[in-house]
Amino acid sequence: MLSFTLLITAAIFFTLVMAGLLFTIYAKNLSFTERVRVYFSDAAFAKPEVGGVKEKRARLAFLRPYWEMGLKQTSQYLSPAKRKELDSMLRDAGYWRMSAMEFRLLQLVLSIGAIILALVLFTPSRELSNVWIIAIAMGVLAYRYPFFHLGRRKAMRMKAIQRSLPDFFDTVNLLLEAGLGLDAAIATVCRRSEGPLSEEFLLVLEDMKLGKSRREAFYDLRKRVPSSGFQGVITSLIQADQLGIGMAKVLKTLTVRIREQQREAAREQAMKAPVKMLLPMVFLIFPSLFIVILGPFVIKLITQGL
């Protein structure tokens, strides 16, 4: 009982420490949307700057030299192919400002921290060999957890982008019909809405402001978001821009098509629901029903006979 309580306590403590470390080191990623909004905003939509992040960075400034030293050592053991793979995973998950070396160093820090935590918690109550097994297992899990987090965040971002596409382009279409240009309409919608889709289009506007053409910025956007539906929409926008077709008409057609695809996906999920419910019903619900219904009869049969 004591070991189980220690295990639960260690898991909770490790989760809190890891969450605090991620928030502290990569707070700049969390405030990225806010900073880009301020960069593109005018006086009507300007928001006050958050000062808490600066204070936390100042308090942890003494850790920066050690972090830079770790990055330098990590870069020596990270091959270009692996670095490219990690950069792609980070980009898909929405961590544009995090490099592959930072991600790998974060994995190592979490793994070492988990091993030390396991040794501190379990050494007084267990044999040393068992403690080392638990520590190594926790270290491996802590090392692999960032990959799980990236995959989960990528899936959540893709769902959020796909879900917000119709409303986003409907609003852009209304602004186009009201007389705004495409860039101004997208900037206005991004300032008034939040989410990964607005973040991606804010990056597009930033690239265009730095000198890229609209076509190049849209191509980069299509590469950043690995969703077939979203990439099809961006391809249609690029082709319409090249051919000189009215964007309002194109966006209206795209929103109708996206909503129809979402309805088809919902129907498909509804048709799959009975199949997914079959195994839980067979292995969990039906045995309980049999126990409740036939249990008294079986007990009576065993004790009294027929």
Let me know whether 36 and 96 are in one domain: yes
How high is the mean pLDDT of the chain? 78
Query: Tens digits of per-residue pLDDT, 135-163?
Result: 888 889 988 998 999 889 888 888 888 88
Give the single-character DSSP code of 284.
I
Domain count, the chain: 2
What pLDDT does 8 receive? Answer: 60
Whether this prediction's pTM lies above 0.85 is answered by no
172: number of Cβ within 10 Å: 23
Q: What DSSP string describes 88-99? A: HHHHHHT-TT--
60 belongs to a structural domain: yes
Let me know whether 26 and 150 are in one domain: yes
Q: How far apart are CA 63 and CA 20, in angstroms?
A: 15
| Residue 62 pLDDT class (50, 70, 90 cuts) | low
pLDDT above 50 (res 187): yes
Let me know whether 16 and 119 are in one domain: yes
Q: How far apart are CA 138 and CA 132, in angstroms?
A: 10
Let me know whether 57 and 92 are in one domain: yes
Let me know whether 27 and 151 are in one domain: yes
Query: Tens digits of per-residue pLDDT, 258-297?
Result: 888 888 888 998 998 888 888 888 888 888 888 888 888 8
Q: How far apart are CA 198 and CA 204, in angstroms?
A: 10
Using the 3D structure, point to which of 100, 126, 159 is the last residue of a domain. 159
Give the single-character DSSP code of 125.
T
What pLDDT does 16 receive? Answer: 60
Q: Do 92 and 226 form a contact (C-beta atoms < 8 A)?
A: yes
Let me know whether 152 and 178 are in one domain: no
Tokens read off for 106: 């974060």
110 belongs to a structural domain: yes
Let me know whether 255 and 153 are in one domain: no
26 belongs to a structural domain: yes
C-alpha angle 245-247-252 in degrees, rounded to nearest 5: 115
| Residue 242 pLDDT class (50, 70, 90 cuts) | confident
Let me know whether 122 and 179 are in one domain: no
Q: Looking up tokens 């809190």, which residue turns up?
A: 16
Domain that holds residue 25: 2-159
What is the Cα 289 distance to its own chain's centre?
40
Let me know whether 183 and 226 are in one domain: yes
What pLDDT does 39 receive? Answer: 42
Let me know whether 185 and 201 are in one domain: yes
21 belongs to a structural domain: yes
What pLDDT does 262 receive? Answer: 85
pLDDT above 60 (res 34): no
Using the 3D structure, point to which of 114, 138, 159 is the last residue of a domain. 159
Q: How far apart are CA 66 and CA 21, in angstroms?
A: 15
300 belongs to a structural domain: no
Let me know whether 65 and 138 are in one domain: yes
Q: How far apart are CA 214 and CA 206, in angstroms?
A: 11
Segment 50-62 shows an average pLDDT of 51
Tokens read off for 64: 């920066």
| Residue 5 pLDDT class (50, 70, 90 cuts) | low
Let me know whether 132 and 246 are in one domain: no
